[in-house]
């Protein structure tokens, strides 16, 4: 949906939405409600617009894995459809320079024990993965050690983001999410059903505009 240059991090998205909340922006006691509603809004927008459900990237550090002899076990995001995976090993003391190996060999899940035992020969510059049949766990070989990490690109509904994590959203999403949040705060805190209905209809219009924008981008790109 958004290009790599204009995608927002989660903290940037939250800040942009918060700035548009009007009377609710500095309201005390609703911070947790606001955070939950922002999350629900972006989930709803992803459900409505396919372009926001593609090409997510999840970065796995060594601490995200459980080591099992010669291999590492990780957990995929819920409902993820994996597109490609990369094994990265840093060259120096920072992540500025890395060797990047495609995990282009996928073993059947029942053969994962070969990876645990180190009984699989892998060519230099490559890595191996086994993904369970329910797309929940995955096993990486070689072992993900302290100077390594794994990048997973996947399609699907992304349910949460870390503060510094890049999202698929750009600035046009601000107003849609803000209207969603304002609508539910107006209903649940102020008990103003008429105000809720008005704001939620406004949210649906903004969401519709986002959909039209996505279809236009898709048409131009095709």
Domain ranges of the chain: 10-53+164-221, 56-155
* Cα-based distances in Å from 45 to 40, 41, 185, 204: 9, 6, 18, 10
pLDDT band (50, 70, 90) for residue 29:
confident
pTM over 0.85: no
Contacts with 13 (C-beta within 8 Å, 6 or more apart), sequence order? 38, 42, 167, 169, 173, 174, 177
Residue 23 has a pLDDT of 86
Query: 165 and 8 in contact (C-beta within 8 Å)?
Result: no
Phi, psi of 108 (to 5 degrees): -60, 145
Percentage of the chain modeled with pLDDT above 90: 74
Closest-CA residue to 6 (of 174, 155, 216, 168): 168
List b or e across 160-175, with b for residues whose CB sees 16 or more CB atoms inside 10 angstroms: ebeeeebbbbbeebbb
Whether 33 has a pLDDT exceeding 90, the answer reads: yes
Mean pLDDT of the chain: 91
| Residue 222 confidence (pLDDT) | 67
Residue 148 to residues 44, 59, 116, 141, Cα–Cα distance (Å): 35, 11, 18, 12
pLDDT tens digits for range 63-102: 999 999 999 999 999 889 999 999 998 887 665 688 889 9
* Average pLDDT of span 28-53: 95
Per-residue pLDDT, averaged over 32-39, amounts to 95
20 pLDDT higher than 60: yes
125 Rama class: left (phi>0) / alpha (psi -120 to 50) / beta: left
Phi, psi of 53 (to 5 degrees): -110, 15
Q: What is the CA radius of gyration of the chain?
A: 21
105 pLDDT more than 60: yes
So what's the pLDDT on residue 58? 92
CA–CA dist 143, 149 (Å, integer): 10
Across 30-39, average pLDDT: 94
Q: How confident is the model at residue 3 (pLDDT cuts 50, 70, 90)?
A: low
Of 17-21, 40-44, 75-79, where does mean pLDDT reach its minimum? 75-79
Hunting for tokens 């209809």 — which residue is that? 201
Nearest-angstrom CA–CA distance, 200 and 37 = 13
Model confidence pLDDT, tens digit, residues 168-222: 999 999 999 999 999 999 999 999 999 999 999 999 999 999 999 999 887 787 6
Which residues on neighbouring strands pair with residue 67, listed in sequence order?
A: 72
pLDDT at 25: 87
Residue 219 main-chain phi, psi, to 5 deg:
-65, -45
pLDDT grade, residue 26 (50/70/90)? confident
**pLDDT at position 52:** 95
């Amino acid at each position: 949906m958004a290009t790599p240059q204009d995608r927002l991090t989660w903290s940037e998205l939250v800040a942009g939405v918060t700035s548009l909340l009007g009377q609710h922006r500095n309201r005390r006691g609703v911070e947790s409600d606001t955070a939950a509603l922002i999350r629900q809004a972006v989930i709803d927008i992803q459900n409505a617009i396919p372009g926001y459900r593609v090409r997510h990237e999840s970065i796995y550090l060594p601490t995200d894995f459980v080591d099992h002899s010669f291999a590492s076990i990780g957990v995929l995001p819920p409902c993820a459809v994996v597109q490609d995976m990369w094994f990265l090993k840093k060259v120096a003391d920072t992540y500025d320079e890395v060797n990047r190996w495609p995990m282009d060999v996928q073993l059947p899940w029942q053969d994962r024990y070969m990876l645990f035992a180190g009984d699989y020969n892998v060519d230099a510059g490559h890595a191996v993965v086994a993904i369970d049949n329910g797309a929940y766990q995955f096993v990486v070989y070689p072992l993900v050690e302290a100077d390594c990490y794994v990048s997973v690109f996947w399609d699907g509904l992304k349910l949460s983001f870390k503060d510094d994590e890049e999202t698929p959203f750009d600035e046009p999403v601000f107003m849609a999410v803000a209207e969603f949040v304002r609508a539910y705060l107006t209903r649940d805190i102020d008990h103003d059903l008429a105000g809720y209905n008005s704001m939620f209809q406004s949210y649906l219009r903004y969401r519709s505009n986002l959909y039209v924008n996505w279809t236009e981008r898709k048409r131009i790109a095709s």
